[in-house]
């Protein structure tokens, strides 16, 4: 019995089970962003902050001149100013917001970071959204404010997307309604279980990996700290082919049980930004252990006062990326099987 099997690529071969079915949890690398490529594949946006922060997003030339963005062959840094005392009547603290030039749909994104911004008044985020918000959804992968210990993952959508409180995930459900018009756009958030997933705990441990998998049936987000013994080998090595079925229980799991993911989510841009105070960090400022001048009865004003007058507090308010890798689902396979059978029997 002789078999001739023609398969277009190694990826196609790895996408087969013994029964020649596509293994849906296998993905191949379609984009890798490292070092100087961040400045080629992202736009630095000098826009007004849509979250009303005490920030001034600068353009690419200003960011480079002020050393707010810089890169080596294998690292990329994006940060805020940490030397200037601000005029309360003037613009906010200089910072950056990066917007990917490409759009990304179903698949996997792995963010390898060495450091995230930390400190009172800060509000860093790595997230994705469609061109017109909240049409086609928003996915917050890395986000937190002030001296928050645990990372938070959140979906924001049009009406019609809800989550059950208890589902197969490590993190704690914070809210179940993803509709951005409800609860002041809180979304359906999940607080991570790992204290090394955000802020000083993340940074002191050398960072780690965040990964998000998008399909028509679910959105899952994982986290592994730098020294986590359970980190999958394909994530740790930055492999070009990954197997998400081996990644274990995610920190956040958003299934389609009560959310039409195919209707409410579309192709997304990746956003990396650092703002100060604003709608979340400002309103939550006095609920934290951050210093606040008692003359301010407003949490936001107390936050802005701190940001204005304590530039040295933001020396550690920076992103340090090793790499972003993007993976696509396996392609539709065209497989030709030629079978020649020669059977000889004898009695």
Query: Which residues have a catalytic role annotated?
Result: 138, 143
Residue length, the chain?
347
Nearest to residue 55, comparing CAs of 293, 308, 284, 236?
308
129, two tokens: 């959204």
Residue 277 CB partners (closer than 8 Å, separation 6+): 53, 54, 121, 123, 285, 300, 303, 304, 307
178, two tokens: 């993803």
Nearest to residue 112, comparing CAs of 169, 40, 38, 168?
38
* Neighbour count for residue 161 (Cβ, 10 Å): 25
Q: Residues 101-112, buried b or exposed e (16+ Cβ, 10 A)?
A: eeebebbbbbbb
**Helix, strand, or coil (residue 307):** helix
Residue 53 sits at φ, ψ, to 5 deg, of -80, 165
* Angle, CA of 22, 27 and 30, to the nearest 5°: 130
**Alpha-carbon gap, residue 197 to 171, rounded angstroms:** 11
CB 152 within 8 A of CB 140: yes
**Alpha-carbon gap, residue 310 to 120, rounded angstroms:** 10
**Helix, strand, or coil (residue 173):** strand
**Alpha-carbon gap, residue 21 to 296, rounded angstroms:** 63
Helix (H) or strand (E) holding 272: strand 269-276
In this structure, which long-range contacts are made by residues 289-298, counting pairs with CB atoms below 8 Å and at least 24 apart in sequence? 289/147, 290/120, 290/121, 290/146, 290/147, 291/120
């Amino acid at each position: 019995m002789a078999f001739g099997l023609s398969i277009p690529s190694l990826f196609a071969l790895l996408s087969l089970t013994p029964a020649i079915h596509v293994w849906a949890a296998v993905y191949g690398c379609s984009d890798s962003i490292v070092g100087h490529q961040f400045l080629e594949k992202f736009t630095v946006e000098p826009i007004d902050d849509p979250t009303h922060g005490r920030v001034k997003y600068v353009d690419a030339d200003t960011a480079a001149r002020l050393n707010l963005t810089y890169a080596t062959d294998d690292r990329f840094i994006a940060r805020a100013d940490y030397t200037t005392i601000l005029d309360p009547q003037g613009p906010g603290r200089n910072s950056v917001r990066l917007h990917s030039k490409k759009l990304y749909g179903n698949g996997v994104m792995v963010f390898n970071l060495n450091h995230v911004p930390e400190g009172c008044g800060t509000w860093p985020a790595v997230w994705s959204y469609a061109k017109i918000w909240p049409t086609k959804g928003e996915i917050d992968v890395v986000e937190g404010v002030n001296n928050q210990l645990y990372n938070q993952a959140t979906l924001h959508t049009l009406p019609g997307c809800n989550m059950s409180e208890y589902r197969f995930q490590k993190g704690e459900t914070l809210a179940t309604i993803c509709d951005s018009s409800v609860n002041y756009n809180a979304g359906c958030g999940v607080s991570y279980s790992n204290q090394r997933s955000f802020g000083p705990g993340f940074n002191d441990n050398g960072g780690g990996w965040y990964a998000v998998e998008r399909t028509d049936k679910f959105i899952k987000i994982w986290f592994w700290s730098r020294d986590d013994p359970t980190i999958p080998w394909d994530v740790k090595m930055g492999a070009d082919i990954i197997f998400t079925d081996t990644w274990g229980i995610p920190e956040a799991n958003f299934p389609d049980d009560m959310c039409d993911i195919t209707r409410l989510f579309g192709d997304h841009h990746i956003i990396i930004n650092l703002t100060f105070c604003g709608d979340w960090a400002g309103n939550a400022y006095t609920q934290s252990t951050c210093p606040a001048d008692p003359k301010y009865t407003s949490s936001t004003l107390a936050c802005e006062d701190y940001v204005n007058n304590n530039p040295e507090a933001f020396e550690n308010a920076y992103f340090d990326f090793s790499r972003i890798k993007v993976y696509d689902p396996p392609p539709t396979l065209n497989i030709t099987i030629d079978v020649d059978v020669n059977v000889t029997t004898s009695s």
